[in-house]
Amino acid sequence: MSRRNIALTVSLVALCIASARADEITLATLNVHNLFDANNDPYRQDEDTPAKSAESQAVLAAAIKGLGADLLAVQEVESREVLEQFNRTRLGGMYAHVVCIEGNDGRGIDVALLSKLPVVLAATYQHRRWPAAGGLPHATSFARDVLRVRVRAPDQTTIELLVLHLKSKSGGESSDPWRSREVEEVRAIVREITGEQPELPLAVLGDFNDLPAAPPLSALFDPNAQPRLLDLTREVLLADRWSFVYNGERQQLDYFLATQPLRERLVPGSVRFHRLPPEATDHSAVSATFDLPGAAERQTLGPPPWAGLTAHGPPDLTTAIPALGPPDPTTAIPATDTERLRARLGSWTVVSGTVKQVFWSPTGKVCYVNFAARADRALSGVVFQSAFDTFPELRDLTGKSVTIQGLVEQYEGNLQIVLSGRGQLVAVAVRGPR
C-alpha cells in the first residue's frame, strides 16, 4: 500500500468515527501487534521480533487518534518505556496516563492501558499460581498477565478494567487447557473485585485468542455465573463481529465484556469493530461508549507543562496547574507521608525528601529514586531511559534533599511520580556535621 493510500485509509477511519458527546466516554481495546523498539532486551527472548517501523508506528498512531478512545487497552507492547515514548512522540501526549507492568511472556509482550482519566489503582496478577493445567508443566500462571486498572471520572465515579491477552493458540488444541485455566482465574478475580464492591462498573476486555463458542472461553460467557459478564460485542451484527483474519477466515478474537452496572451506562449503538490499516496492526479495535456525567473534563498529557503550558490539576479537574517552574519545597508533602499522598492519586503534587538510594532496573531502562529504604515506605521518583539525559545528576542524588513534582500514581501498591521534564526535579546538597 502506498503512503498516499495509507494516509487516505487513516483519514477515512477518523472521519467514520463520530466523536462522543461531552457527557460520554469511550473505552476501546486494540492488539497493536509487536510495538517494539530496536533495542534488545537481554532479559527477554525478543531477538526474532523486529522493531515496529517508523511508517507502521505513524499509521498506528493515526488510527488510534481516529478511534478517539478515552481509555485504550492495548496488547503486545514491549514495555512501558516504549509505550510512553509512543504516546509522547507519535500521539502527541494524547493520554495523560500510561499503565504497563512487565508480565510473564518470554518474548516480552505486555498488556497496558492508555488513559485520559486519572489512574487510582494499577495491579498485576502475573504472580497468581495454580496446579499445572492439562499436564502442561508451564501452565501454572497467566501466559502474559491480567492488568487491573481503576480510573476515576470527574464526578468521582470509579471504573475498573481488567485487560487480558490470553494464551495464544500456537500449538493448536494443546493450548486449550492453559487458556481455559486462565479464564477460570479471571472469573475468580472478577468475583473477588465485585464481592467487595458489587455496584462497581467493571470491564473485561482484550485479546482472548479464541472464538466465542470455544470451550476455553465458556466460563466468561456463562449466563448463570455471578456476577454475570455481558458480551457487549453481541450488540454488533454477526457479519461485522470479527477482529482477525486467519487463513482467509474472519474470526473474533477480541472482546469487550461488562458487568451490569457498566452495561447500564452503554450508549445504544455505540459498540463497534474498527478496521485499521494492515500497516498498523493485524487486529481490529473494539470500542464502546458510555454515559458518564462530567466526562468532558478529560486529561491529556499534551505538550509538557515544563514548556510553560498548563495541564489539569486535582481529581475534580477544576483547578489548572500554573506554568511549571521549579517545585516549591514550602508546599511539598513529605515523600514518606504515604497516607496524604494516596489521597493525591491522579493529582499533580509537589513531594520532597532526602534520597536514600538510586538504582536501575535489571534491564537498565528504568531508574528509581527512593526516599526510603523500602519502596512501600515512601513515594519514589521514576525515570525512564528516554529521559536519562534530562537528569544527568541521577547517580549523585543519594543523600541529597530533593523536591519533585508530577502526577501521583500507584504501581503494585507503591506510590510514584514519573519524571520526564527538567522542571520536575530540584536537588539541594545536604550538609553534614562540621
DSSP per position, 246-275: ETTEEE--EEEEE-HHHHTTBPTT--EEE-
Q: Does residue 286 or residue 80 have the better pLDDT?
A: 286
pLDDT, position 322: 35
Q: Looking at this protein, which amino acid is placed at residue 243? A: S
Average pLDDT, the chain: 81
Torsion, Cα 221 206 159 406, to 10 degrees, reads: 160
Predicted local confidence at residue 283, as pLDDT: 94
Starting at the edge strand found earlier in the chain, the sheet holding 24-35 runs: 97-100, 110-115, 71-77, 24-35, 285-291, 272-274
Whether the pLDDT of residue 19 is over 80: the answer is no
Cell triple for 415: 506510590
What letter does residue 238 receive in the DSSP assignment? G
Higher confidence at residue 99 or residue 43?
99
pTM: 0.66
pLDDT at 48 over 80: no
Query: Cell numbers at residue 95, please?
Result: 493520554
pLDDT tens digits for range 112-137: 999 999 999 998 898 888 887 667 77
Residue type, 245: V
Report, as an integer, the average pLDDT of 317-329.
45
Mean predicted confidence (pLDDT) in 140-145 = 86
Q: Residue 55: what pLDDT?
A: 84
The reported pLDDT for the residue numbered 235 is 93
pLDDT band at 37 (very low <50, low <70, confident <90, very high): low
Q: How far is CA 346 from its chain centroid?
A: 14
Percent of the chain residues past pLDDT 90, beyond the cut: 45
| Cα–Cα separations (whole angstroms), residue 235 to 164, 250, 288 | 21, 18, 10
Closest CA to 427 of 382, 387, 391, 397: 397
Stretch among 20-24, 61-65, 140-144 having the lowest mean pLDDT: 20-24
Q: Cis peptide before 261, with omega less than 30 degrees from 0?
A: no
Nearest to 26 by CA among 174, 209, 188, 159: 159
User: Longest Cα pair distance anywhere in the chain, in angstroms?
Assistant: 79
pLDDT number for residue 22: 59
Residue 205 has pLDDT above 90, yes or no: yes
Q: Which helix (H) or strand (E) holds 32?
A: strand 24-35
pLDDT digits (tens, 9 = 90+) for 231-267: 999 999 999 999 999 888 999 999 999 999 999 999 9
CATH H superfamily, domain 329-427: Nucleic acid-binding proteins (2.40.50.140)
Q: Higher pLDDT residue, 271 or 6?
A: 271
* Correct CATH for 24-43+50-297 of 3.40.50.1370, 1.10.510.10, 3.60.10.10, 3.40.50.800: 3.60.10.10
Cell of residue 235, nine digits: 450488540
For 272-288, the pLDDT digits (tens) are: 999 998 888 999 999 99
pLDDT score of 385: 75
Pick the closest to residue 257 from 275, 233, 278, 240 (CA basis). 233
Eight-class DSSP state of 430: P
Residue indicated by cell numbers 502526577: 407
Query: Where do the structural domains in the chain lie, given as residue ranges?
Result: 24-43+50-297, 329-427
